[in-house]
Structure 1
Amino acid sequence: MDEKLSRVDPKLLELLVCPLSKGRLSYDREHNELVSEKARLAYPIRDGIPIMLVSEARRLDE
């Protein structure tokens, strides 16, 4: 994967919140996802763009 596409701008991460829980997100570099521990969801990042849709998120208990 292209190194530029696998990074998340820290400033963007400060602004984004989980659309379900409104909680903070953390970046999971290994899976290239933004993780909401509160909602137990992981939002994918595709082509450098976070997909902040609950319907696209992966449940963390899976």
Structure 2
Amino acid sequence: MAISKELLKIIACPKCKGDLKLSEDEKFLICENCKLKYPIEDDIPILIVDEALKLENE
């Protein structure tokens, strides 16, 4: 079971309250504003700023 599209429409970055998008591998929620990615573990997004990883420029 993956993150639902309905959840993605209402979920927001806990730091800046901006939109989050699902990564291509569906393992992270990405905030482009903060340059952070929040892990998804067992289909549960971990929306804790201290748990977020810095988004690397690819």
Structure 1 length as normaliser, TM-score? 0.83
Equivalent residue of 1:30, what SS?
A: coil
Quote the residue 1:41 is aligned against: 36
Indicate the percent of aligned positions where both proteins have the same amino acid.
Answer: 37
Aligned length: 57
Deviant stretches of 4+, over 6 Å? none
- C-alpha change, 1:32 and 1:23, in structure 2 (3 Å) is same
Pick from 30, 38, 41 the counterpart of residue 25 of structure 2: 30
Unaligned residue ranges in structure 1 (runs of 5+)? none
